Amino acid sequence: MRFQNRVAIITGAASGMGLLSAQQLAEEGAKVVLTDVNLEAVAAAAKGICEAGGKAIGLQVDVRCYEQIKSCVDQAVETYGSVDILINCAGGCSSRVHKRSEPFHELPIEVVQWGMDVNFKGPILFAHAVLGQMIEQKRGVIINLGSVEGVTGTKAVDYGSSKAGMMGLTKCLATYGAEHGVRSCCVSPGPVLTRPTMAGMWTRLGRAAEPKEVTGLILYLCSDDAAFITGSNHTIDGGRSVGVR
């Protein structure tokens, strides 16, 4: 029960690694606040955690909207008394999400802006919203979900550059929060079996990661076992980023 009496906010928590992180945190004693733009899905996810014996609420939050973010943080503090962990999982490749196949320079600018706002602006806004509470508590952990494509580069320009930005954001948050007991780390996965298409992506180990392999690292970095780790990026990519193919 590493997270007994801890409160965690997880973005993009209606599915994928956001949902799995929330479920595992709850299993280890955390009170979890699940956020997602899809209200029906996030409410169902929170209900499932409660039915399994955990403590959870599900809130509709568009990470591009600071008013919704601030309301979420306020509700977390009002309901559970603190915010100890923020996991920024919300995101995605804009061309895939919007079902576009054009090269980057031919994408509608609204699609590109969606990618920048959700993948990079949202985590900055959420960090801004939780830092006051964490500084007041003199403790907190912010985990940013990057990507191996932020390390290697990719033709998905807005996605790869936003994920590279997550590493810089992590360093800045670690610098800003250190004197207040607030840590920040970035986790940059390679292909993960949250979607079937990931299975065909190349890694040196010849497979994609199981979601639990990535969330296991996330939970470790959130825990007191990682109390001396901050400002760092942690690739978990099966060797995809190591040298040339």
Q: Per residue in 124-140, is it b (16+ CB within 10 Å) or e — as a string?
A: bbbbebbbebbbebebb
Ramachandran category for residue 15: left, alpha or beta (phi over 0 → left; psi -120 to 50 → alpha)? beta
Let me know: does 87 contact 222? Beta carbons within 8 Å.
yes
The enclosing H or E element of 189 equals: strand 182-189
**How many CB atoms lie under 10 A from the CB of residue 17?**
23
Please tell me the distance from the alpha carbon of residue 230 to that of residue 215, in angstroms, as a whole number: 17
Distances (CA, A) of 91 to 50, 76, 96, 118, 126: 25, 22, 11, 6, 13
From 66, 159, 176, 220, the catalytic residue: 159
Mapping DSSP to helix (H, G, I), strand (E, B) and coil, where does residue 115 land? helix
The enclosing H or E element of 179 equals: none
Please tell me the distance from the alpha carbon of residue 32 to that of residue 41, in angstroms, as a whole number: 15
Catalytic status, residue 220: no
Please tell me the distance from the alpha carbon of residue 115 to that of residue 35, in angstroms, as a whole number: 18
Retrieve residue 18's tokens: 């956001």
Minimal CA–CA distance to 218: which of 4, 1, 25?
25
Mapping DSSP to helix (H, G, I), strand (E, B) and coil, where does residue 113 land? helix
As annotated, the active-site residues are 159
